[in-house]
Amino acid sequence: MDNHKKNKLDEILSILPVVEKINLKSEADFYGASYMVSKKIQLNSQPKSPVGWKHGWLHANLKYKEQLTIGSNALRFLVPLKRDELFLRERGISAKAVGMPFIYISDVETKNIKRVKNSLLVMPPHSLPYTEHAWNEESYAKRILALKDEFDLIVVCIHQSCVVKKLWTEMFDRYNIPWIVGADAQDKNSLLRIYRLFSSFEYLTTNVIGSHVVYGAYCGCKVSIFGKYAEFSKEDYKNDSFYQRFPFLLEYNLSYTTRESIAKKFPFLFVHPKEATTKIEWAKQELGEENKVSFEELSRLLGWGYGDQLLWFFKRVYIKLSSKFFTYKRKRNIS
């Protein structure tokens, strides 16, 4: 990498917040969402939230409640869109549309970021600690390498889980393509980190659908899906405890991650990276920008008040006692 490119990359790295690991007490803690809220209302700590807050982009059509609740029995669910709220309420589940956590990153924390002209951020598919994948890393790395003369700066963003597993890192090192670490569910600064990162690049390309697509578009990146599309299989998720509980949902979700289904639903994404255009308004709609509420209201909806904390305590006691009762009754019937 020449000095000019290195300096540009160093400038980007300098604005990224440090990684600070946290213990995840509930879904609201993922990627630092609850930390972000508590910081804005000047709380020194975050109470354990009895509420679910959807943090992943739901690009598949709604069919099962578990798509929004992840099988949780939370007190209520915060969801991105009004259609999600209505879907759950029609099934007797308390819900409120507030948008996704990503849209609550403050403009004050991002307004001075300079977007590097003719820069490309590459986002390959990522793993999770409990998933296994067999992507053709070299094929994709070569495809990205072939773009080197069309962009002034190309950088790859690799998920923390992939870094730990040594996925992608060694291959991009082999082809001298610089990479940086992206999101980590246990990093309380992840949302801000990704927001600042996406706001620093003019273009973003990937070979798979995911939240990074809509997040990048929201931040003003010109997003594309390019190169051999990365497919997923049931085998990839054989150790995923969530899908072990809800195998029907795995089959359904996989049907909405194929290249054919994504190209049909989002044809504008399948272009050469240089031909991509901004889709900010589309991203705002997908992330529920119109449903955004104040941080004070968020803290209330997250169940941080005494009333919800007490209600959640009694609900957990009820669930525990009910479970013991039915277990006892079942054993009596068997004997």
Instruction: Compute the distance between CA of residue 276 and CA of residue 266 in angstroms, rounded to an integer.
Output: 13
What are phi and psi for residue 225, nearest 5 degrees? -110, 120
Q: What is the mean pLDDT, run by run of 10 residues, along the chain of 335 residues?
A: 83 91 90 92 85 92 94 90 97 96 82 91 87 85 96 94 89 95 92 95 96 96 96 88 91 94 96 97 97 94 72 57 54 57
Q: Supply the DSSP string of 238-304, one letter for each residue.
A: TT-HHHHH-HHHHHHHHHTSSHHHHHHH-GGG-S-GGG--B-HHHHHHHHTGGG---HHHHHHHTT-
The pTM of this model reads 0.89
CB 221 within 8 A of CB 203: yes
Decide if 52 contacts 85 (C-beta within 8 A).
no
- Is 321 in a helix, a strand, or coil? helix
**155, part of any domain:** yes
- pLDDT score, position 285: 97
Same domain, 145 and 240: yes
Given 240, 269, 285, the domain boundary residue is 285
Buried/exposed 279-306: b ≥16 CB within 10 Å, e otherwise: beeebbebbbbebbeebeebbebbbbee
Residues 230 and 151 in one domain: yes
Q: What is the CA radius of gyration of the chain?
A: 21
Are 121 and 79 members of one domain?
A: no
Tell me if residue 154 falls in helix, strand or coil: strand
Tell me: do 53 and 121 sit in the same domain: no
- CB atoms near residue 20 (< 10 Å): 13
* Whether residues 250 and 306 fall in one domain: no
Residue 193 lies in a domain: yes
Residue 255 falls inside a structural domain = yes
Both 258 and 309 in one domain: the answer is: no
Compute CA distances 271 → 43, 113, 139, 231, whole Å. Answer: 45, 27, 18, 18
In angstroms, the CA 47 to CA 306 distance is: 10
Give the amino acid at 153: L
Gap between the Cα atoms of 199 and 193, Å rounded: 10
**Token pair recorded at residue 115:** 């977007």
Q: Same domain, yes or no, for 174 and 279?
A: yes
Question: Can you tell me the distance from the alpha carbon of 16 to that of 235, in angstroms, rounded to the nearest whole number?
Answer: 35
Whole-number Å distance between alpha carbons of 160 and 197? 15
Secondary structure (3-state) at 121? strand
Q: Report how many domains make up the chain.
A: 2
Domain that holds residue 93: 27-105+289-315
> How high is the pLDDT of residue 328?
46
Residue 65 covered by a domain: yes
pLDDT digits (tens, 9 = 90+) for 203-222: 999 999 999 999 999 999 99
Q: What pLDDT is attached to residue 134?
A: 76
Spatial separation of the C-alpha atoms in residues 23 and 25, rounded to whole Å: 6
Compute the distance between CA of residue 62 and CA of residue 181 in angstroms, rounded to an integer: 32
Same domain, 204 and 274: yes
Give the whole-angstrom CA distance, residue 35 versus residue 298: 12
Residue with tokens 């209302």: 41
| Domain shared by 8 and 55, yes or no | no
**Do residues 117 and 12 touch, judged by C-beta distance below 8 A?**
no
- Is there a contact between 214 and 234 (Cβ–Cβ < 8 Å)? no
Question: From CA 208, how far away is CA 259, in angstroms rounded?
Answer: 8
193 and 310 co-located in one domain: no
pLDDT in tens, 211-268: 999 999 999 999 999 999 998 888 888 888 889 999 999 999 999 999 999 999 999 9
Torsion sign over Cα 156, 159, 165, 167 = negative
One domain, residues 64 and 211: no
If asked whether residues 122 and 229 sit together in one domain, one would say yes
CATH of the domain at 230: 3.40.50
What's residue 199's pLDDT? 95
